[in-house]
Amino acid sequence: MTVAEIIGYLGAVVVICTYSMKTMVPLRIFGMTSNVVLITYGFLGGAYPTLVLHLILLPLNARRLYEMLQLIKQVKEATGGDHSMDWLKPFMTKRPVKAGDILFEKGHDADEMFFVVSGRLRLHQIGIDVLPGAVVGEMGLLTHDRKRTQTLECVEDGLVLRISYDKIEELYFQNPKFGFFFLRLTSARLFENIGKLERALAEREQLAAPRPS
């Protein structure tokens, strides 16, 4: 058995290990390992189609691994800071909105969330405005029936970024750490929203309280 054949069999073993990975980061690492081994096999054994294929796949796997590691890093940073979801923007699509547009209604199916870039949105049932830099609609992902609990209307022209729950779940299945940190972020934002609602109710009670004559 030649050296090239031994390396070829080793490459086959690594490829099998790659397909057995359940999460994306180990899959990419094993994928890159198999690329290196099979590039070596292709060069020594004269298997040039295999050589070319894995010369293409190696930087692709490296790029995807880098993106996932960056995502994990950014989510970790977000959990320790102001709970901004800027790290999610590369996975979102733009949607211009105009005053009067209803982005979702109470009782309807929930399948996406939004990041407000500009303009002003309003949650009708609690009377809270959603301003640029805020995320809205993420709570539907955590409800048992995936139903909206609020109606969201655009009250001032602007731009939002949208991401489907399917995409969020895809990111989670690619790396479970993403799901853990996303849950922490969403929980923190829930408490922030509760705090905003409590402050708004307190202000209304103060305004409604009778003033001494």
φ, ψ for residue 168 (rounded to 5)? -60, -40
Domain assignment of residue 181, yes or no: yes
Examine the domain organization and report whether 44 and 126 are in the same domain.
Answer: no
How does pLDDT run along the chain (213 residues), one tens digit per residue? 788 788 888 888 888 888 887 777 888 888 999 999 999 988 888 888 989 999 999 999 999 888 878 777 766 665 555 455 666 777 889 999 999 999 999 989 999 989 899 999 998 887 788 888 888 888 777 777 888 988 999 999 999 999 998 888 877 776 666 677 677 767 776 777 777 777 777 887 787 777 665
Q: Which structural domain, as residue segments, surrounds residue 44?
A: 3-79
In a domain, 175, yes or no: yes
CATH number of domain containing 125: 2.60.120.10
User: Measuring CA to CA, how many Å separate 47 from each of 39, 53, 58?
Assistant: 9, 10, 17
Residue where a domain terminates, one of 53, 79, 105? 79
Decide: pTM greater than 0.85.
no
Residues 65 and 130 in one domain: no
Q: Is residue 196 part of a domain?
A: yes
Q: 189 and 94 in one domain? A: yes
Q: How far apart are the first and last CA of the chain?
A: 103
Query: What CA–CA distance (Å, rounded) separates 85 from 67?
Result: 16
